[in-house]
Structure 1
């Protein structure tokens, strides 16, 4: 007689259920995991119930509003991660056996890097490889690694910061945040803008939920100053549009002006910038990728195109290549 499948020995492994389980394990929330997978919450909840039933053990317990892994769930995550990585490598190799630059490449980045670097690189890549499609996604800095782990994107571009052990960082360039103002309104600062000067200016900054704002506040406080913005805006582009009148100043990546220049926007063409002379205002950008997962031919081609765009931005004085 053939053995009968029991809840503890599922006859068929449904990879959709595995992917849903891993997403919830990483996010700790059905809502966030459903958003990352493009599923409805009821559908994802059904996946969790079906997966737990097929294994015959509870995988999550609820602590307040969060889902916490049980001991069995934690052990399953540790066991599944290397297996899923290997499976993705096999599928990626099979999808493009000849190393052709084709298929779909998915890239995620923070707003400024996406606009100034990723989009030009993607356009160059599409021109060179007609069989390739590119999908570009905007994320907050803390979301890029999660999107990589969830399988939403193939490559990410964000700050070089502490990352999960399954994420590898490749430094690309460093940049110093700059004071941006209408031409002729920048303070005299031969060696760069000082914290004392910033503390006297009416500033327009991003809200505290943004990593760049938190970096600015931490650097100012470390130097003994507190910066109180007169205006908070939802994006760097919105802040730049508040500056040309000469009443406000903003602090942002110099790449924001590189974007304005490439757009030939007359309203922003008269803006000038000067670096802030404090080590806390320098940051490093890195390519984020899944550790141990080889790049596809498309990813390799994109990285080369990105290097060309970074070189052009460096020539304009907007950044320093790593």
Structure 2
């Protein structure tokens, strides 16, 4: 490890940073799905970079989905705590009828995966954008006292939690897989570490227990810091990392002058996330696990060969959007390929596929 080339957003240029050790702490890849509670930067950048550098990546097909995230055109899909359902909130269709008792005898108190799949099923069955979470039958003072932050945030969006049903969708919340690391956070590349959601430590399996990732981040962060401190005096002198030279970047002739390319990228981004949601999301049908591979809007290799700096220099693309699109494309391909090989007749390892096959009512009717 000799350092990294880093894109400076403020100065709109690539900068050279030499270092004996580099730590990836870039988060997961939940933005690969249509609905996510994560910010735009959760596009799998660290996972994609490590993969291209030769690191092993594992379990990207396993993601935690939260059942109730806000659905609103003017706001990000932030979480609506499960405590709302714990205090008696009902999940309803657009016509006001409840549906969770049709899926599980525990109703809204069923485990989050069952609730998330039920919401997703009803949305697709009815062809609607969302379901609704309603706690308006509880006293206003009770709701405001128990959920003050959610109440204020929704009120700013024109939704009164004490009176109005809240539009919700299930959303990708946590990437359980990532860059494979050892107990010290080391990857397969000497001097490169991965900490947090970007990494795969093996602690989560196919799902994530609540708050377990915080402990993981603290423990592995501490271990990585100790390991780096211990190894730095023994590390060889850092070789000089050459400055980024845009003139050395080769760009396919057919991509030098492409009009409105940013619009195309944005369109493909939406198409990719929708495809992943439908085929490698909550309830992937058995045939769906292999279908998306050839349909991903990132199969054109010439697109993937462009670097963000050269794209920005020659065809004036927005570098941040390009970087995220390229990383999402890599993450999606890894996820789909892993999901495809998870189908083993004698051992169905995917919790999503197991659920889709296990529940005869009403998912498969």
**TM-score, normalising length from structure 2?**
0.22
**TM-score, normalising length from structure 1?**
0.24
